[in-house]
Structure 1
């Protein structure tokens, strides 16, 4: 199981949209003129107390402790923490504002390691039928570095950084990379898969920002760009991903191209061949 985090310290960068789109496309598979992706078994882990990914799949729990908080506190997926969605091959671990209480609780625990609870839970999950057969886990993180996000990074294999081409987002990248590097002292396998440009509107300013990001930031940047689409905002009102809401939209097609690019990275292609 490959664990992939979507992460940015700034809100409004399409972290959740990227996470749910990745999860759906990897679970359902698809064919396009550019290539094809075979369906896989996917676990979507909502690690943001706002619970937007949980709401999208109608799994938000408002008045009881959400499964994600339980996993953080107990370092296990045992119990009713994994829920099925209506999409075949796609399960979810929901989150809500009880995550904040869970973070306070584990910070007060001075006898048990605080940073590796998700990692221990995932290691156990891999050996627990029938849930040990996930191909991917996509973790949708909050725009901060709370204890739950640190736990996600300690468990992660790869990090995808969605970013809008505005000054605030670009200024925050250096701090984000510094924090990721700090966490890598606890998890050497974790690395940044790449920066994904989202909500792109073409202008002289955005073109200049893109050039800087690709040539001066020192970070890997995906070739694929997710263009601005009104359909993305509209889809949230119907509790649907951009793909499910309007597969012909520019954003939906962009995420398909992104998945193809991601899957064609050398290490991913080798893993796909090995599984096949």
Structure 2
């Protein structure tokens, strides 16, 4: 049974898509079977995986509107080694169509269910807003990975997201939890970065990942080549950071599974 993680933050430009693409490739590098679901109409995770969003015959739109089953929507990322349910601008129409649909908040949960046994990890790249697509992702996942910059406004946005997660937990997904907070574009020379880091540690404790993703030119360049950083420049600091994050996530899951066995 796979672990499903939504990578979410309603603030744009914090590294959600970068995290999805590079974490997927890093998990594959550790011999895990990975599916990336692009739930953002901008289709950046699709393009960053080397798949042309403008040339799609089928996409997550068809999946969400019930036109096909998930196995027919899968496209392989040759550069990353994982599978993708791709997205493009059509997904905006799906959100409108879903507004009048029955059980609209659980649509993604239903369509992902048949794939859970085929993958070790399913990552959902959420749009930069708390809309119906994000609600679907939060209703479908086991946990939320929140990438954020260590800035003042990011802290303000984080509190709104935590409130939304708590509401979804009460109404739609009792098992939902914050899996981890990931510090992105991290610069330890900046005093504000260190102040925000301290606040995150105080509030979230061990849910704050030890791994920090630094500002890295190679990490920023990789998407324009349709590749994760691991394929573009394996030795870059960005690629190494996401490999470390994958290892941290796997170790957490193994420790949690061991606790369940011993209980």
Q: Report the TM-score when normalising by structure 1.
A: 0.86
Unaligned runs of at least 5 residues, structure 2: none
Q: Which of 119, 124, 136 is 2:114 aligned to?
A: 124
Identify which range, 192-201 or 229-238, moves more after superposition: 229-238
In 2: Cα distance, 1:7 partner to 1:218 partner: 19
1:24-82 alpha-carbon deviations (Å, 9 max, x no partner): 111122xxxxxxxxx02111101111101111223233276752111211186357311
Q: 2:224 matched to which residue of 1?
A: 237
- Correspondence list, 1:50-65, <5 A: 50-62=42-54
* Corresponding position of 1:84: 76
Q: How does 1:1-276 map to 2 (within 5 A)?
A: 1-29=2-30, 39-62=31-54, 66-74=58-66, 77-78=69-70, 80-87=72-79, 90-109=82-101, 112-126=102-116, 132-185=117-170, 186-202=172-188, 203-216=190-203, 220-265=207-252, 267-269=253-255, 271=257
Structure 1 gap ranges (5+): 30-38, 127-131
- RMSD, matched Cα: 2.3
CA contact (8 A) 1:60 1:96 kept: no
1:78–1:20 CA distance, 2 compared to 1 (3 A): closer
CA contact (8 A) 2:47 2:223 kept: no
Q: Aligned equivalents of 1:180 and 1:219: distance in 2?
A: 18
The Cα of 1:87 is off from its aligned counterpart by 4.8
Indicate the structure with greater helix content: 2
Aligned counterparts of 2:229 and 2:193: Cα–Cα separation in 1: 23
Q: What is the CA distance between 1:270 and its match in structure 2?
A: 5.4
Supply the distance in 2 between the matched residues of 1:74 and 1:60 (Cα, whole angstroms).
23
Q: What SS does the corresponding residue of 2:226 show, helix, strand or coil?
A: coil
Following the alignment from structure 2 to structure 1, what is the Cα–Cα distance between the partners of residues 95 and 247? 36
Counterpart CA distance in 1 for 2:201 and 2:72 is 43
- Cα gap change, 1:261/1:44 in structure 2, threshold over 3 Å: closer, same or farther? same
- Give the number of equivalent residue pairs: 257
Equivalents in 1 of 2:112, 2:255: separation in Å? 23
The alignment's TM-score, normalised by the length of structure 2, stands at: 0.90
> Is the partner of 1:22 in helix, strand or coil?
helix
- In the alignment, is the contact (CA less than 8 A) between 2:50 and 2:227 conserved in 1? no
Give 3-state SS (helix, strand or coil) of 2:193's partner: helix
